[in-house]
Amino acid sequence: MRDRQRGIALLLVLWVFTILGVLALDFSSYMRDDAMASVNFADETHGYYIALGGMNRAMWEAVRAREQGPETGIPNAQRSGTDRQAGSGTDTGPGGPRLGMQDDDIMPADGQWHDGELAGAKYQVRITDEGGLIPINKVGEAVLKKVITNLLVGPQSQVRGMDRRTDNQVSEIVDSILDWRDPDSLKRVHGAESDYYLSTKRGYPAKNAFLDDPQELLLVQGIDASLFYGGDGIPGLRDVISVFNRSGQLNARTVTAPVLQALLGVDEADAQDLIEQRDADPEAFVTTLGTQLAGIGDAESGIDGFVVNEPAHTVRIQARADTSQPRNQSNVEAVVELSSDEFDGPKILRWLDRAPWDGMPPTGIVPGDTA
């Protein structure tokens, strides 16, 4: 009887130690997760403010470039990313030394990433002139058709030609975009209005107003992820359009290579060659671009005044900071009007503390396509 009692007591003791061991392991796991969360939070916070610092510096440089930029031609500071890196040298001004600045070292609005350093941490920043992108809310039907054709068919679309199916697809997309942005409910031949969108699984009406964000195009009939995001050396609509270019014109001084691909139907290498030609001879490039685009438009497109050459007015500034963990990379983005009669200094039109992911969507997922 006593041996049996001892066995029960031993079993109870073993159970107690087992429970205590499980609790200890669970507590240590919890403490480890809590410590890791604290490290990640500190890393993210540090990265965010480094990116914010890069953003503010880029904004200051964009304003400075506009103030110093000549009325014609391209500023000497607008060089390729290999010729210039942010964060080198010093500049002594009225406020004392400014880290990483030089008098002739102004970050260009070229849509390229430039490296910088702040408080021992590295960041990257790029400035894209919204005027150098296609004004989706103002561009005419002829130019829009040219852009959609080149993005669908690819380089040298005018040589390859289009079959009837592709031609109908282009017409459907162009008419649908025009129907989406116009204020009326009159459907174009290949377009779509609210009756179409409400009759499908989409379940929303046509906007019948200007686009507020490029992502809205994913709601338009005929536009899928491959056309919006691009791929295989062909840019997507998101790379070439702007909802903030309200002038309805294209700034040749800051036009990007993807936009040249979309407008001229050239491949990636040829578009980059054109950008290099612009840097070498700005005036000749503006004349050549205007001549090449003259054959696209019609009276509605207003192509005669489509190409301009002026300092950047509204820019998109993107900044990202490198952190100890790649998953903690911080991204900040803003659209800034550099000069405004309403504000003394730049005016923020849009600010994103957590900039959206700019990679390709996962395979098989088509955003906005619920039909």
DSSP 8-state code for residue 215: G
State the number of CA atoms in the 13 A half-sphere of 117 facing the CB.
Answer: 9
Distance of CA 258 to the CA centre of its chain: 12
Helix axes 141-153, 257-264, angle to 10 degrees: 100
Across the range 180-192, mean pLDDT stands at 93
Q: What is the pLDDT of residue 75?
A: 44
Q: What is the pLDDT of residue 149?
A: 92
Rounded to whole angstroms, the Cα distance separating 163 from 177 reads: 22
**CATH level 3 topology of 134-244+254-308:** Ribonucleotide Reductase Protein R1; domain 1 (1.10.40)
Say if residue 84's pLDDT is above 60.
no
Label residue 105 by pLDDT band (50, 70, 90): low
% of the chain surpassing 70 pLDDT: 77
Q: What is the pLDDT of residue 237?
A: 95
Residues in a beta bridge with 250: 307
Rounded to whole angstroms, the Cα distance separating 93 from 116 reads: 20
Rounded to whole angstroms, the Cα distance separating 101 from 61 reads: 9
Please give the angle made by the CA atoms of 87, 92 and 96, to the nearest 5 degrees: 105
237 CB burial (10 A radius; 0-12, 13-18, 19+): buried
Q: What is the pLDDT of residue 355?
A: 66
Rounded to whole angstroms, the Cα distance separating 71 from 63 reads: 15
Three-state DSSP class for 201? coil
Please give the angle made by the CA atoms of 35, 41 and 44, to the nearest 5 degrees: 140
Range ranked top by mean pLDDT from 99-103, 210-214, 279-283? 210-214
Rounded to whole angstroms, the Cα distance separating 103 from 170 reads: 48
Three-state DSSP class for 350? strand
Across the range 147-159, mean pLDDT stands at 78
Across the range 34-49, mean pLDDT stands at 84
Rounded to whole angstroms, the Cα distance separating 210 from 195 reads: 19
Say if residue 319's pLDDT is above 70.
yes
Label residue 77 by pLDDT band (50, 70, 90): very low
> Please, which residues have CB within 8 angstroms of residue 226's CB and are 6 or more apart in sequence?
236
**126-136 pLDDT, tens digit each:** 999 999 999 99
CA-closest candidate to residue 350, choices 336, 338, 339: 336
Give the residue with greater pLDDT, 92 vs 141. Answer: 141
Label residue 300 by pLDDT band (50, 70, 90): very low
Phi, psi of 222 (to 5 degrees): 90, -15
Beta-strand relationship, 241-242 and 250-251 = unpaired
Q: Please state which of the ranges 1-15, 30-44, 315-329 shows the lowest mean pLDDT.
A: 1-15
The answer to whether the beta carbons of residues 131 and 336 sit under 8 Å apart is no
Q: What is the pLDDT of residue 108?
A: 80
% of the chain surpassing 90 pLDDT: 32
Rounded to whole angstroms, the Cα distance separating 328 from 339 reads: 34
Say if residue 278's pLDDT is above 80.
yes
Q: What is the pLDDT of residue 365?
A: 45
Rounded to whole angstroms, the Cα distance separating 53 from 333 reads: 12
Q: Please state, as a whole number, how many other Cβ atoms lie within 10 Å of the Cβ of residue 349.
A: 15
Across the range 312-332, mean pLDDT stands at 82
Buried b (16+ CB within 10 A) or exposed e, 173-187: bbbbbbbbbbeeeeb
Say if residue 219's pLDDT is above 50.
yes
CA-closest candidate to residue 145, choices 133, 134, 132, 160: 134
Say if residue 346's pLDDT is above 50.
yes
**Average pLDDT, rounded, for the chain:** 79
Beta-strand relationship, 241-242 and 134-135 = parallel
Three-state DSSP class for 164? helix
Across the range 198-222, mean pLDDT stands at 91
Range ranked top by mean pLDDT from 18-32, 180-194, 269-283, 321-335? 180-194
Across the range 94-112, mean pLDDT stands at 55
Say if residue 6's pLDDT is above 80.
no
Across the range 262-279, mean pLDDT stands at 90
Rounded to whole angstroms, the Cα distance separating 192 from 188 reads: 7
